[in-house]
Structure 1
Amino acid sequence: MTILCHPAARPDDLIPSIGGPVRTVDDLPSVLHALRDDPAEDLVVVGPAADVHDALRFAADLRMVRPTAGVILVRDHVDVALLTEALRAGVREVVTAGDDDALTAACNRSRELSHHARLNDGAEPSQQGKVVTVFAAKGGCGKTTIAINLAAALASAGNQVCIVDLDLSFGDVAISVQLEPVRTISDALPMAGHLDTTGAASLLTSYGPGLDVLLAPVTPGDAEKIPAALVAELLAVLKGMYDFVVVDTPAQFSEHVLTAMDASDHHVLLTTPDTPAMKNMRITLDMLDLLSYSREIRSVVVNRSDSKVGLSSSDVERVVRSSINGHIPSSRNVPISINKGTPIVIATPTHPVSQAITKFAHERLLSRPAPVRARAFARRSAGRR
């Protein structure tokens, strides 16, 4: 039975929007008693009459003692400062009083997250999802577009998928799918060292069925505040929540990127059929070999592979000295889909680009068990050198 902290004398009635059986209490201490009486309940709605600071402290404390429980905060007025404080305290969503549809949707999302978190609490390590890092050492190869569409293809196959935008300074995932970056990876900073599924869920932005996004920071300077250890912690928690975690990266071997590669079950390495990109791909493969990453978890993909630039597939293989595992054709429909904010895999599943990405997802990710990863033991010393 959902617990609503809302004085009975308050004229507005939130109960119809919450849905299902609801138990109403007058204050936050009474919420704790109600939760003790019902160990299976995982949703608390705090009405606008409650003091906001008390509500945030309550949410932060509840996250430690019952991590699967979600708190929905209803306020008469909502601003960015309140949203930021609420997310850091572990509140799942903040809803404006009077927006009944938003409250209903927030409660449904919270119940779904709590159900997922309870299932993960009993999950065996072998049941955890796969981390897939998409990387290109040269900008302009279409890395973000491929990462988003690959995630969409995996979600379309019935998987729960999360995209992590790890290009912390210049992330493009939000604008590519037209999401408002209200919550970003920066909001994880107060949770560093004790991040759980509830905290991770509070950072995510939903794009569509089976597809959520962890967005990159938007404030200048925030990228420098995020340690690589937090990235590792986030990926470890997210892979327990999703079937696939697809990581979009910047075009450089930063500490954050190498941390993601350490945590990855598969590396998707992207190039285009032009000399600078292929040269960088060759350097990338040499670097990954130097750092002792397993070649079994590696896929080399050529984007815009049918471009008329005088280089054949055999030429590309000869230059990069590696077999090619995926060919994605070029099409003007791809930038059109980006401008519309809808991945081409979702907008036009039968398009040759969509079919190529979907085929790659099935052949290289869905139909293959995750091999044992070899951690890059040389990475730290190589970085110092």
Structure 2
Amino acid sequence: MPVVVEADQQVAAGLLRSLPSGTQAVPDTERMRAWMAQHPDEYVVVLGPTMPLPDALAACEGLRVTRPAASVVLARAEVSAEVFAQAVAAGAREVIPAGSPEAVSEAAERAYRLFTALRGAAAVGPSEGKVLTVWSPKGGVGKTTMAVNLGLALAEKGARRVCVVDLDLAFGDVAITMQLFPTHSIEHAVGSEDAIDTELLEGLLTRHHDAMMVLAAPSHPDVRDRISATLVSQVIRTLKQTFDYVVVDTAPAFDEQTLTALDETDDIVVVATLDVPTLKNVKVALETLDMLDIASDHRHLLLNRADDEVGISADRVEGILGMRPRARVASSIEIAAATNAGKPIVLRDPHHPTSLAIRELASLLAGQSVGPPAGVSTATRTAPQQRGFRWKRR
């Protein structure tokens, strides 16, 4: 899918409307390079009109060497002969007026045809993303907070295309956690089970300013019963055709919609807190997943609000649940403050031990390094992470 490099969100939104569904938008060339590294078959980069011309020309020159098969389209508020000559000399394939949706769309189509001619149609064939479900049988364990932060860590401000799906259909909090105010939700797909496609779902998504998309839960609890398992399955399967990662936040239940999501998932992140009632519920839930043969080798335990002082050690957790924790997040007032401010902890404080722990989990799930924030040295990351995973023997 195309990638748009544009810092102004409104301008970026205008360009996205002229490009194919699934086009990614990133704010700067640093995120563009991260996106290109993750997507070797990208066929066009659209440089937005607010990008300073020297930066745009430098981007053209860099991509001409590193990604010669990808077309660079420079969109400008005004196209002059001088700008055109400079851009083409730097390696841009086309220079187009930013205010012409037809010009933007046609340039992308030409780039696609050129790419397929150079590398073959198979090079841009469909590929499926990965579905990650964040789940717990007990409410109040911080599941939504972890799901949102995990999604943002994976997105890495545009390096990957990520969608968080709020399947807590009665009391979903993903949108409010990110201070988003959706005009559409999964409710608006009801009745379209046989017509779900990428274009339909694109119209239901809400964009977060850090390059992550959200499919919100319904605004009223009584809608839950109208959302069928078939709809849930079709939504997840369609989203994974467009997104690198689909992060599903579920209800704390074994209802039909949650079971469908679990059945469609590649990996499950099981969230628990260090109290006996929660661990008991998680144990029973894991046994149920075993009976249903759901993701038996792809479950990852995340312990939230996991402090040494509560008296439950790692060995005891493993003894109770039969699985070793993959990530541990200690209690922290900063997490709650970040959530209340609508800026999740991985964005508000990338250096925080919780942010680092979530990025480590994201790297594990992605099977590749999810880069730390700029300026975080190895030493800076290691010390808090070691503190976060220290367990006292009891």
Provide the C-alpha distance between the structure 2 equivalents of 1:41 and 1:349, rounded to a whole number of angstroms: 32
Once the 2 structures are TM-superposed, how far is the Cα of residue 138 of structure 1 from its aligned partner? 0.7
Whether the 8 Å CA contact 2:265–2:295 is kept in 1: the answer is no
Once the 2 structures are TM-superposed, how far is the Cα of residue 307 of structure 1 from its aligned partner? 5.1
Matched, 1:132 2:120: no
Code of the aligned partner of 2:151: A
Provide the C-alpha distance between the structure 2 equivalents of 1:41 and 1:336, rounded to a whole number of angstroms: 38
SS of corresponding position for 1:191: coil
1:148-163 equivalences in 2 (<5 Å): 148-156=148-156, 158-163=159-164
How far does the alpha carbon of each residue in 1:179-233 deviate from its partner, in whole angstroms, 9 at most, with x for none? 1131110111142211111101000000123300000000342111111100100
Gaps in structure 2 of 5+ consecutive residues:
1-10, 22-97, 116-120, 370-394
How far does the alpha carbon of each residue in 1:14-66 deviate from its partner, in whole angstroms, 9 at most, with x for none? xx99989xxxxxxxxxxxxxxxxxxx9879xxxxxxxxxxxxxxxxxxxxxxx
> Which residue matches 2:143?
143
> Which residue matches 1:285?
286
Provide the C-alpha distance between the structure 2 equivalents of 1:206 and 1:362, rounded to a whole number of angstroms: 23
Code of the aligned partner of 1:302: L
**Runs of at least 4 residues off by over 6 Å:** 16-20, 40-43
Code of the aligned partner of 1:355: L
CA shift in 2, pair 1:202/1:330, >3 Å: same
> Which residue matches 1:271?
272
> Which residue matches 2:299?
298
> Which residue matches 2:381?
none
Matched, 1:332 2:329: no
Once the 2 structures are TM-superposed, how far is the Cα of residue 289 of structure 1 from its aligned partner? 0.7
Gaps in structure 1 of 5+ consecutive residues:
1-15, 21-39, 44-103, 369-385
> Which residue matches 1:73?
none
Whether the 8 Å CA contact 2:169–2:218 is kept in 1: the answer is yes
> Which residue matches 1:357?
358
1:36-75 equivalences in 2 (<5 Å): none
Once the 2 structures are TM-superposed, how far is the Cα of residue 366 of structure 1 from its aligned partner? 3.3
1:1-385 equivalences in 2 (<5 Å): 124=125, 127-156=127-156, 158-306=159-307, 308-367=309-368
CA shift in 2, pair 1:290/1:42, >3 Å: closer
CA shift in 2, pair 1:139/1:18, >3 Å: closer
Provide the C-alpha distance between the structure 2 equivalents of 1:212 and 1:356, rounded to a whole number of angstroms: 22
Whether the 8 Å CA contact 1:307–1:330 is kept in 2: the answer is no
Whether the 8 Å CA contact 1:270–1:302 is kept in 2: the answer is yes
Whether the 8 Å CA contact 1:137–1:281 is kept in 2: the answer is yes
Whether the 8 Å CA contact 2:171–2:221 is kept in 1: the answer is no
CA shift in 2, pair 1:314/1:19, >3 Å: closer
Whether the 8 Å CA contact 1:167–1:250 is kept in 2: the answer is yes
Q: Across the two proteins, how many residue pairs are aligned to each other? A: 266
Once the 2 structures are TM-superposed, how far is the Cα of residue 327 of structure 1 from its aligned partner? 1.2
Provide the C-alpha distance between the structure 2 equivalents of 1:42 and 1:288, rounded to a whole number of angstroms: 38
Code of the aligned partner of 2:330: P
Once the 2 structures are TM-superposed, how far is the Cα of residue 264 of structure 1 from its aligned partner? 0.7
SS of corresponding position for 2:303: strand
Whether the 8 Å CA contact 1:191–1:199 is kept in 2: the answer is no
Once the 2 structures are TM-superposed, how far is the Cα of residue 322 of structure 1 from its aligned partner? 1.6
Once the 2 structures are TM-superposed, how far is the Cα of residue 285 of structure 1 from its aligned partner? 1.2
Provide the C-alpha distance between the structure 1 equivalents of 2:161 and 2:143, rounded to a whole number of angstroms: 21
RMSD, matched Cα: 3.0
Code of the aligned partner of 2:201: A
TM score, norm. by length of structure 1: 0.64
CA shift in 2, pair 1:132/1:42, >3 Å: closer
Once the 2 structures are TM-superposed, how far is the Cα of residue 143 of structure 1 from its aligned partner? 0.2
Provide the C-alpha distance between the structure 2 equivalents of 1:314 and 1:184, rounded to a whole number of angstroms: 42
Provide the C-alpha distance between the structure 2 equivalents of 1:364 and 1:128, rounded to a whole number of angstroms: 15
Provide the C-alpha distance between the structure 1 equivalents of 2:221 and 2:266, rounded to a whole number of angstroms: 31
> Which residue matches 1:60?
none
Whether the 8 Å CA contact 1:330–1:353 is kept in 2: the answer is no
Once the 2 structures are TM-superposed, how far is the Cα of residue 162 of structure 1 from its aligned partner? 0.2
Provide the C-alpha distance between the structure 2 equivalents of 1:269 and 1:139, rounded to a whole number of angstroms: 12
Provide the C-alpha distance between the structure 2 equivalents of 1:292 and 1:330, rounded to a whole number of angstroms: 33
TM score, norm. by length of structure 2: 0.62
Identity of aligned residues (%): 38
Once the 2 structures are TM-superposed, how far is the Cα of residue 308 of structure 1 from its aligned partner? 2.1
Provide the C-alpha distance between the structure 2 equivalents of 1:159 and 1:214, rounded to a whole number of angstroms: 17
Whether the 8 Å CA contact 1:273–1:307 is kept in 2: the answer is no
